[in-house]
A and B are shown apart, each in its own frame.
Chain A
Amino acid sequence: MNTTTTTPAAAATGATAAAAVPKASFDWVPMALVPLLALLAWPFIGSSPTWVTLTIAGLAMGMIIFIIASGLTLVFGLMDVLNFGHGVFIALGAFVGMSVLGTMADWTASDSLWRNLAAVLPAMVVAMAVAGAVGWAFERVLVRPVYGQHLKQILITMGGMIIGEELIKVIWGPGPQPLPLPQALRGALIFGDAAVEKFRVLAVVVGAAVLIAMLYTLNRTKLGLLIRAGVQDREMVESLGYRIRRLFVGVFVAGSALAGLGGSLWGMYQQGVVPQMGAAVNVLIFIVIIIGGLGSTLGCFVGALLVGLMANYTGFLAPKVAMFSNIGLMVLVLLWRPQGLYPVTSR
């Protein structure tokens, strides 16, 4: 192990136990794929301002997808539960967000950015709270009786999604509804020749905040340690006396809440909501999770950025095959690393 060679700095702290533990070398290769993909797309697109616009749009889309998918990948990894109903929390978040924004019309119509943000923030928080609460009930009623039975999990969560979608139609009506952006978030910022939509900047900021909060929780807190350990080896964590089921419920609720947050952002991103949107986004999320490696947060992040960039580049270059490009990406990744970019070991 090269990390055990004593440098002067390490010698000073050499007595501490932490330095004696060899740090696993970080795998940078998948991370490098994101800039690589962006650079590869440059010559095809030709004009640099368009490329900048598309790249930032792709990163923003990737950030939203990451917010939605991050909870699900932990659910997969931690409890080996195949939740095919995750999409319903996305749609729920979007509809709740829309309703909350609708009640604050005078705040969203104002030209002041701060008043706008003050309207968007409660919309996101309420969307998270509602999706999280429904997620708790979903786990309690539907998922709990079918632990360890994969086929039933798929069928039950699928059924849950049908029911959820229909209930959304009962509450908000079956048709698509517009979700207008607050006044100050409309339009684009112009940097030189590149136009960057304002909302996408907000999406990147929120996504980055979620990423940092998640990485901090997972890597720097005891809770995160338990979750990561649970993903790696559930029985061992249980045998140490931790109630992994309780941990899982927490992760499930947090994942649903994140899906609600992502859904409200996705609704604003698309500037409209449909009850079926959950099923459509579900496909993207699954691709992301497969690319990233089931259970891996970092893999999920890289996968989401790749999918977001790919979707925007091909949407510009060849709109008809945009959907196929993501499948192609997934196939290539799986050919290279059959377990995903950051495979969770010992599974």
Chain B
Amino acid sequence: MLNRLLSHDLPRNRWLTLMLVVIVLGLALTPFLFPGTKALNVAAKVLVFIVLVASYDLLLGYTGIVSFAHTMFFGIGAYGVAIASTRIGPGWGAVLVGVAAALVVSLLLSLVIGLFSLRVKAIFFAMITLAVASAFLTLASQLSEFTGGEDGLNFKVPEALQPGTQYLEDPWLGASIDGRFVTYYLLFVAAVVLVLVMLRIVNSPFGRVLQAIRENDFRAEAIGYRTVVYRTLSNVLSALFATLAGCLLALWLRYNGPDTSLSFEIMLDILLIVVIGGMGTIYGAIVGGVLFLLAQSYLQDLMKLGASAVEGVPVVSQLVSPDRWLLWLGILFVLSVYHFPSGVVGRLRAASTTQTTRGDTR
């Protein structure tokens, strides 16, 4: 049963299994285990990022395509829900319309980008997507009557999900059963389903073709697969999953603006998580996402302590100031690309198999 759910792609390492079980249990029971708004916010963000990063892994890790336009699709999803809820008014209808419209827009856009630019070399694709994504970001902050411009859009979610909606008078097992609670579990179920679907995709014959293209596209073409078609499909699929992740984010935050879903920093976060977690393993998105977002949310507090310890020392205090946490992540990123190219998951899996068939992460 579990084997089928995970598409016969088991963690294949005792520590990894343990880690995943802890993560899944932790996320499933966050409202009960970790009281407080911040913990719930972090957990919800973790869920969204797991979906988002796994969808990027489909493209980068499994197909070997570097795209910088992934936040664009993420943003389309978030803006879809935000704009529909603002225009139509709060309700499930608006959410459905927003999600559907966002999916259609993403589908068309990713299809156009894929067909237009995937036939050119990898360099071109990376640069073209970077250009398109930044143009989209500019557009979103310019069309203020539609997207709220730099200020973004504040909107209301359906009543069942609003924080004011109380389902039980008193907290149950330490968690207040309100609209936020329901939203959290909506996110949780959606994330689990989406990740399982993506596991299914990458472990299907289609996923094997993608891996073949990653390893040697020339040979894949020679065997008779039309690589352009497969690359484009991979691009479209990954865009659609990213769009859904964006919808989830918007439902949770009840706000969307250029910085929350479109900014280049998020693209960097995605890259960091994929590399730290392990490329070409959907599980890498789960492990990496949890590690990264915990670091992002709590490392800054830790650095604040460190900064107060070395206060007065001119350069050092600047280096450990909490605002500079990205510097340390950047160094960690470079080091992990050099020394752990297969990421946490790849390392653990390689350690537990004697005859390693480690994927070449070129």
Contacts and interface: CB of A to CB of B under 8 A. Distances in A.
A166 B326 contact: yes
Contact of A323 (B60, B138, B264): B138
A317 interface: no
Contact of B330 (A76, A163, A174, A326): A163
Contacts of A323: 134-135, 138-139
| Majority DSSP secondary structure for residues of B touching A | helix
Contacts of A159: 330-331, 333-334, 337
B315 interface: yes
A72 B278 CA distance: 30
B327 A163 contact: yes
A341 interface: no
Interface in A135-177: 142, 145, 149-152, 154-156, 158-160, 162-163, 166-167, 169-170, 174
| Majority DSSP secondary structure for residues of A touching B | helix
B134 A283 contact: yes
B319 A170 contact: yes
B66 A151 contact: yes
Interface string B118-146: 00101110111011101100110011000
B128 A330 contact: yes
Most A C-beta atoms less than 10 A away, residue of B126, B324, B326, B337: B337
A279 B127 CA distance: 12
A265 interface: no
B362 interface: yes
A82 B126 contact: yes
B300 interface: no
Contacts of A294: 123
Contacts of B123: 76, 82, 150, 294
Contacts of B268: 158, 162
Interface residues of B toward A: which range?
35 or more
B1 to A, nearest CB: 37
A170 B131 contact: no
Contact of B131 (A160, A167, A320, A327): A327
Interface string A240-262: 00000000000000000000000
Contacts of A282: 130
Contacts of B334: 142, 156, 159-160, 163
Contacts, number: 104
Interface string B161-205: 000000000000000000000000000000000000000000000
Contacts of A156: 334, 337-338
A198 B167 CA distance: 68
Interface in A312-327: 319-324, 326-327
B348 interface: no
A158 B329 CA distance: 12
Contacts of A150: 66, 122-123, 362
A152 B341 contact: yes
B116 interface: yes
A279 B327 contact: no
A324 B264 CA distance: 17
A178 to B, nearest CB: 21
A84 B324 CA distance: 21
Contacts of A82: 123, 126
Contacts of B120: 334, 338
B323 interface: yes
A269 interface: no
A152 B138 CA distance: 28
Contacts of B289: none
Nearest to B121: A294
Given A320-B143, A331-B116, A162 B330 contact: yes
B127 A151 contact: no
Given A145-B338, A155-B275, A159-B337, A166 B128 contact: no
Interface string A169-190: 1100010000000000000000
A129 to B, nearest CB: 22
A287 B131 contact: yes
B154 interface: no
A171 to B, nearest CB: 8
Interface in B297-346: 315, 318-319, 323-324, 326-327, 329-331, 333-334, 337-338, 341
A287 B138 CA distance: 16
A59 interface: no
Contacts of A34: none
Contacts of A319: 142
A159 B328 CA distance: 10
Interface in A228-244: none
B48 interface: no
Nearest to B65: A151
A170 B313 CA distance: 13
A289 interface: yes
Contacts of B126: 82, 84, 154
A290 interface: yes
A160 B264 CA distance: 15
17 contacts: A145-B338, A150-B123, A152-B341, A154-B66, A159-B331, A162-B268, A162-B333, A163-B327, A166-B326, A170-B315, A170-B318, A280-B134, A287-B127, A287-B131, A323-B135, A327-B135, A334-B120
**Which 7 pairs across A and B sit closest by C-beta, in order of nearness?**
A166-B327, A162-B330, A286-B127, A159-B334, A323-B138, A163-B330, A159-B333
